[in-house]
Amino acid sequence: EIVMTQSPATLSVSPGERATLSCRASQSVSSNLAWYQQKPGQAPRLLIYGASTRATGIPARFSGSGSGTEFTLTISSLQSEDFAVYYCQQYNNWPGTFGPGTKVDIK
Amino acid sequence: EVQLLESGGGLVQPGGSLRLSCAASGFTFSSYAMSWVRQAPGKGLEWVSAISGSGGSTYYADSVKGRFTISRDNSKNTLYLQMNSLRAEDTAVYYCAKNFLPGPGSSGWYGYWGQGTLVTVSS
Interface contact B59-A99, CB threshold 8 A:
no
What's the length of chain B?
A: 123
Mean pLDDT of B44-54: 94
Are the CB atoms for A1 and A96 separated by under 8 Å?
no
For the stretch A3-61, pLDDT in tens is 999 999 999 999 999 999 999 999 999 999 999 999 999 999 999 999 999 999 999 99
CB-neighbour burial class of residue A57 (10 A; exposed 0-12, middle 13-18, buried 19+):
exposed
Mean pLDDT of B67-84: 98
For the stretch A59-71, pLDDT in tens is 999 999 999 999 9
* Intra-chain end-to-end CA distance of chain B, in Å: 40
Interface contact A96-B47, CB threshold 8 A:
yes
B2 reaches A (C-beta below 8 A): no
Scan residues 41-100 of B and list those with Cβ closer than 8 Å to A. Answer: 44-47, 59, 61, 95, 100
pLDDT of residue B105: 77
